[in-house]
A and B are shown apart, each in its own frame.
Chain A
Amino acid sequence: MASLSNSGWRDVCDKFKNAQTLSCEESLKDPVNDPYRSKYKARELIREIHYGQRDELFTDGLCGESPPGMLTAKLAAVEFYLGVNHAETEELSAGHEHLMNCVMLLERCRVSSENVSLSIHVRNELGIMWTRRDEAEKALQFLETAEFIYQRYMKEDGSPPMDKIEYFTTEEKLLTDQERTEKFEFIYTYTKYYLAQVYKIVGETERAATYCHNTLQRLLPLKQFNRMEWALNAATLSQYYISKGQFMEGRHCLSAASVILGLAEVPSEAAAQETSEQREKNRMQSAHISRCWIKYCLNLLEDAKKLLEDNTGELDTDRQDELKRERTLGEEEEVKSRKSALLFGSEDTFDSIASLEEKVPCLFPLDFSEARAVFLVGQNHVKEAKEYFQMEGHVTDHVEILQDHSALFRTLAFFEEDLEARCKMHKRRIDMMEPVCNELNAQYYLMIRRQLMFELAEIYNEMMDLKMIRANTQADTQSLDKHSIKKINHLCSSAVKYFHMFLDSLRSPDGKFPEKMEEDVLRPALVARFRMARLYSKLICSLPSAQLENLNKALDNYTCITQYCEEHPEAAAAVETELELSKEMVELLPFKINRLKVAMVANN
């Protein structure tokens, strides 16, 4: 700078500006058959600057503000630009060489405000380059070093550092401190974002998630992002956390997503049509985020259920007491310490996110009232999501939301001790699903209908069991009143009906069952048979002949399972318990049937 005459320096700056324009703007218009025309022109200009700079450099380049130190930094910058240019024009090895020259030149100086930004930048580029060569490990080294350099600089210096475009800029065009800080923070955000990707590539998912989180967190105060996208990404990240059982983190992401999406303003100067489109899109994203909340509530309830159930799927009260004791002993503390590690928010959103979080539990519910609190949050989001995803126009989405709603009821029922109330919850599920299942076009919605039919069958089956238990506690089955018998038989036949429908859906159009079932329907189909067999033997009949008929049907279904597994030994693993019991029943039932026959003959 000092040794160059002013006009000479101005020339250099103009060259640099032209090179930037060519590389970033002109190159977009390059013809298909000459795609790098502008990039090559830009390269020539940078080369010219390069030669000029090299002649200037007559020392080893000391540090600090001294002109030679600055010269080294400039030389490094030129190498950087040449490196990126070669990489962009598919000349990776030449590009690599230039980028490494840049690294080497900067190594001679400690990380100072003249070159810290460039140091990080060049490593970002090397990270990109090595992943292009499928060498993620090498990319990681560079990116992790970039991260380290940033952290060290912020600890030791922290002043707004020079940006890479300032090396060849005339005095009056230098950046302000605020601009410098912003650019520097962005470059580091990119480092985080590249690290997120490379950790994903090398299979460190947990780390990758943390870095995605970091990237989102760092974007927030920068205010230069698309809010809708941000919210959607945060909501998606919540799904990662809940699938890992980290509900506190999941809740935090979702609260942030809801708050940020709520801030999304419609640009006032946009055309009226665009704003309505924008609003429509906002409604959709908001419904998507509601659906993520539903999954949050559902998983929280289901995981709690898994913790609390005994081997018959009922609430284990000893376990319940134990968990409650544990909770008072300090789980809260652990949550507090973890929480400080991951807060989203900028000054103006922090409080709204925190207050939204407080409205939703994130610890496992351990009794009915706690479970109900989670359930209600979920149910509320079901309502929200359905407003956008209406049946007319969004059949698949709408039904998925109904299925989740039903699953929320199912898990809540687990916490309910009163059998009658439990039955009512299951009845709610039936009322939701049954009309839909019967309305759906069987040809276009085969897959969804299969799920619904199976679920309906299971609900009826469950309700019948509950009624049976109640009946047995009231009196023994012999003296059951007519009304109860009718009720139980109705539930029983409804379950059979839906299992039958499910199995029929596997038939080909000409009515044949597949000889060998596809993997995804194998277990459900055999379980359906198994359940049907049991249901047939549970039907309460006043006439022995009817009972005989039902027992024979039960036997048929049990035989079906054993035969299928004999013909396809590989299927046995999918239905181990059911198969064992079926084998027993195939042995035992004929005796029972015979006894009944003998009794019938005797009675006649």
Chain B
Amino acid sequence: CLWSYSNDSNSIKVFVRVRPLTQGTGLTTDGDNNLCLKVTSPNTIRLLSKPEPRTFTYDHVADMDTSQDAVFSSVAKNIVESCMNGYNGTIFAYGQTGSGKTFTMLGPSELDNFTHELRGVIPRSFEYLFFLINREADRSKSFLCKCSFIEIYNEQIYDLLDTASASLFVRENIKKGVFVEGAVEKFVNSAAEAYQVLSMGWRNRRVASTSMNRESSRSHAVFSMSLESKESVNEVVNIRTSQLNLVDLAGSERQKDTHTEGSRLKEASSINRSLMCLGQVIMALVDVSNGKNRHICYRDSKLTFLLRDSLGGNAKTYIIANVHPGSRCFGETLSTLHFAQRAKLIKNKAVINEDTHGNVK
């Protein structure tokens, strides 16, 4: 028959990681060793909420003792392999400030030493990608790898590889898809080179946060590698491109600024701001009417627009939700776990319009 077997769900996967309880993160008070959660199996976590504890289920839950290598193996290994085969892949890190996002993605803060056994998902991804490239490259097959590194702050886009540039625009091209116009692209030939580009951008991000008042906990950083492979088979040249995005999202406790929490009223402190909010109210009303052809004038956020490919369709996406086990963080942890559950449902869908009429003759 024309339907054959293949089992490859493209939905977004979620990996929850619990950081160890250490002092000095500002999230625990000395001597406060009360935990608000418990990892009950490799894919469930129990939150000790009142009156009833709640259990959440994810694709994977990693407890405090999980090694960096184990995180890489479950989250990124498969995505990097898919990139070699022409899929786009994205890894998001989400969680409150201090929950271990940067540690998970990069590793300990002494950035220049990337052979450290505690190095994070990103350096390991570089290594693995170039390991695969070197294994596959030969006379008939060649690879080209480019990196860019941008930051989204307050709905403005900044190039972390070119600090002199003003804010940039997201644009689309019929062949290239979505791209940031004018963003610097650096060619890299090895994991070490890729890592150098990353470190430079990361340093610039820190500089920007002090000198330009761009608080990094409020910004999203997006590191993208585009991979092009060229294969000549009997005079026919096959070119495949794919993109790997590594995203450090703004601290989840900052999301409150942008999300409407619960059902709080928007207060009309100034009439202009209130008009913005009125727009949100109306939008929610329009959204209720399902299945009707309508146009919403308000744009997606820059981040979702830029990563549209990652949200459904032909991409593989992993979200690493980092949580802190201390009881002081209960509220944030709960909202992170909720977010991670909602993320499972995100999917870009293509609504196919049929010319339905009765001619099923």
Contacts and interface: CB of A to CB of B under 8 A. Distances in A.
Contacts of B6: 508, 510, 512-515
Interface in A379-408: 391-396, 404, 407
Given A128-B265, A215-B278, A563-B3, A444 B296 contact: no
Contacts of B281: 196-197, 200, 208, 212
B4 A512 contact: yes
Contact of A240 (B87, B175, B289): B289
A458 B355 contact: yes
A493 B241 CA distance: 32
A446 B174 contact: no
Given A295-B295, A404-B293, 13 more contacts: A127-B265, A200-B284, A201-B263, A233-B275, A240-B286, A312-B358, A396-B172, A441-B174, A447-B349, A451-B352, A503-B2, A515-B7, A578-B360
Contacts of B87: 509
B352 A524 contact: yes
Interface in B1-15: 1-8
B293 to A, nearest CB: 6
Contacts of A577: 360
Interface in A191-230: 193-194, 196-198, 200-201, 205, 208-209, 212, 215-216, 219, 222, 224-226, 229-230
A121 interface: no
Contacts of A512: 4-6
Given A391-B174, A509-B85, A581-B360, A212 B355 contact: no
A225 B279 contact: no
B357 interface: yes
A300 B353 CA distance: 17
Given A242-B292, A512-B6, A392 B173 contact: yes
Interface in B33-65: none
29 contacts: A127-B265, A132-B265, A136-B263, A200-B281, A209-B285, A215-B278, A235-B297, A236-B279, A236-B286, A236-B296, A243-B286, A294-B295, A295-B295, A312-B359, A313-B358, A391-B174, A392-B173, A394-B171, A394-B172, A395-B177, A439-B175, A443-B86, A444-B176, A447-B349, A465-B359, A514-B6, A515-B7, A524-B354, A527-B354
B279 A441 contact: no
B351 A240 contact: no
Mostly, the A contact residues are helix
A436 B279 CA distance: 33
B285 A205 contact: yes
B85 A441 contact: no
Contact of A513 (B2, B175, B352): B2
Contacts of A394: 171-172
Contacts of A530: 360
A88 to B, nearest CB: 10
A458 B352 CA distance: 11
Interface string B266-289: 111001101110110111111011
Given A451-B353, A520-B349, A521-B350, A236 B282 contact: yes
A285 B2 CA distance: 47
Interface in B71-109: 85-88
A196 B278 contact: yes
Nearest to B356: A313
B2 A288 contact: no
B358 A443 contact: no
Given A512-B4, A513-B2, A445 B266 contact: no
Contacts of B7: 514-515
A410 interface: yes
Interface core residue of A243, A294, A298 (most chain B CB under 10 Å): A243
A195 B90 CA distance: 42
B293 A216 contact: no
A430 to B, nearest CB: 13
A454 B176 CA distance: 23
Interface of A: 127-128, 131-132, 134, 136, 139, 186, 189-190, 193-194, 196-198, 200-201, 205, 208-209, 212, 215-216, 219, 222, 224-226, 229-230, 232-233, 235-237, 239-240, 242-244, 285, 288-289, 291-292, 294-295, 298-299, 302, 309, 311-314, 391-396, 404, 407, 410, 436, 439-441, 443-448, 450-451, 454-455, 458, 462, 465, 503, 508-510, 512-515, 520-521, 523-524, 527, 529-530, 534, 556-557, 559-560, 563-564, 577-578, 581
A220 B2 CA distance: 61
A225 B275 contact: yes
B293 A446 contact: no
Between B172, B272, B279, B348, the greatest number of chain A beta carbons within 10 A of the residue's beta carbon is seen for B172
Given A444-B178, A448-B350, A509-B85, A563 B1 contact: yes
A161 B163 CA distance: 55
B3 A313 contact: no
A314 B358 CA distance: 9
Contacts of A523: 352, 354
B148 to A, nearest CB: 16
Contact of A447 (B296, B350, B357): B350
Contact of B279 (A205, A229, A503): A229
A407 B354 CA distance: 11
Nearest to B291: A243
Contacts of B171: 393-394
A134 B297 contact: no
A527 B281 CA distance: 38
A155 B70 CA distance: 73
Contacts of A131: 263-265
A89 to B, nearest CB: 15
A393 B304 CA distance: 17
Contact of B282 (A139, A189, A212): A212
Contact of B88 (A201, A235, A443, A458): A443
A523 B293 CA distance: 19
B331 interface: no
Contact of B314 (A208, A224, A446): A446
B320 to A, nearest CB: 24
Q: Which 6 A-B pairs have the closest CB atoms?
A: A313-B357, A444-B177, A243-B289, A512-B6, A243-B292, A447-B350
B256 interface: no
A232 B1 contact: no
Interface in B240-269: 241-242, 262-268
Given A444-B178, A508-B8, A242 B278 contact: no
Given A444-B309, A512-B5, A458 B354 contact: yes
Nearest to A398: B172
Nearest to B170: A393
Nearest to A459: B355
B342 interface: no
A529 B360 CA distance: 13
A240 B350 contact: no
A18 B286 CA distance: 44
Nearest to B290: A243
Nearest to A517: B3
Contact of A233 (B271, B278, B312, B354): B278
Given A233-B278, A465-B359, A509-B85, A205 B288 contact: yes
A566 to B, nearest CB: 11
Contact of A395 (B172, B274, B296, B352): B172
A513 B172 contact: no
Contact of A515 (B3, B262, B283, B312): B3
B348 A447 contact: yes
A436 B172 CA distance: 14
A488 B87 CA distance: 39
Interface string B161-191: 0000000000111111110000000000000
A302 B293 contact: yes
B294 interface: yes
B361 interface: yes
Contacts of B8: 508, 514
B292 A225 contact: no
Contacts of B296: 236, 239
Nearest to A519: B349
